[in-house]
Amino acid sequence: MGRSSIAAALALGAAALAATPAQAELVSAANPQKIKEIMESRGWPANLVMNAGEDPYIESDRDGLQFLVIFMNCTAGRNCRTLQYYMGFGAAKNVSLERFNEWNREKRFARAYRSEKGAPVLEMDVDVDFKGIPRENLSETFNTWAALMDSYRDFVFGDG
């Protein structure tokens, strides 16, 4: 009922959207500590690294897959506006350009490529400028990222 009633409101046009119910908590990249807390609430370790004048990043891992949440478009390391989820495999068999192309053609949200050192990399960018996005929306991007990390491990190390 909740979803369908929202759908009905949308049918009335964009102006009807002002009637969207209670505002959800917004999360932006300007608050790395909050994003660290959200990651930890999922049971993911989150080591926030903040060096003066540099973009903050969070080191994490999930099921043995290490990854980073990098804060970008910052001003002197603060007031960041976008996020990048990043994972790279240091040791992996050679993955052909054709295979990378296959990933990028078939998958959504995250881009795969081979680093200059030959490591398969997976990246996903999220715009969280202004007041940010609802916490639930950010959490969904983490769900998406987690699924993509699993797929990428199979993609890089699997027989396919």
Partner 1 sequence: MTMTGSVRWMLLAAALATASSAAAAEDPRVFADADQIAALLKTEGHEAKVSVDKAGDRMIESQHNDRNYRIFFYGCSEGIVAGPCTSVQFYIAFTRGKPFPADRIAEWNGNWRFGRAYLDSEKDPVIEMDLNLDAGGMSKALFLDTLDIWFEVLGNFDEFVFTDPDAKKADSPEPKPAD
For binding to partner 1 (CB under 8 A), which residues are involved? 3-4, 6-8, 10-11, 13-15, 17-18, 20, 24, 54-55, 57, 70, 72-73, 81-82, 84, 86, 88, 97-98, 100-101, 104-105, 107-116, 121, 123, 125, 127-134, 136-137, 139-141, 144
In whole angstroms, the minimum distance from the beta carbon of 31 to partner 1 comes to 15
Backbone φ, ψ for residue 128 (5° rounding): -130, 40
- The 10 Å Cβ neighbour count of residue 48 is 17
Residue number with CB closer to partner 1 (131 or 154): 131
Residue number with CB closer to partner 1 (9 or 157): 9
Concatenate the DSSP letters of all residues of 21-49 into one string. Answer: -SPPPEE-TT-HHHHHHHHHHTT---EEE
In whole angstroms, the minimum distance from the beta carbon of 19 to partner 1 comes to 9
Rounded Cα distance, 122 and 111, in Å:
6
Residue number with CB closer to partner 1 (8 or 45): 8
Which segments within the chain are labelled E, that is strand? 26-27, 47-49, 57-62, 65-72, 82-88, 111-114, 120-127, 133-134
Residue number with CB closer to partner 1 (128 or 156): 128
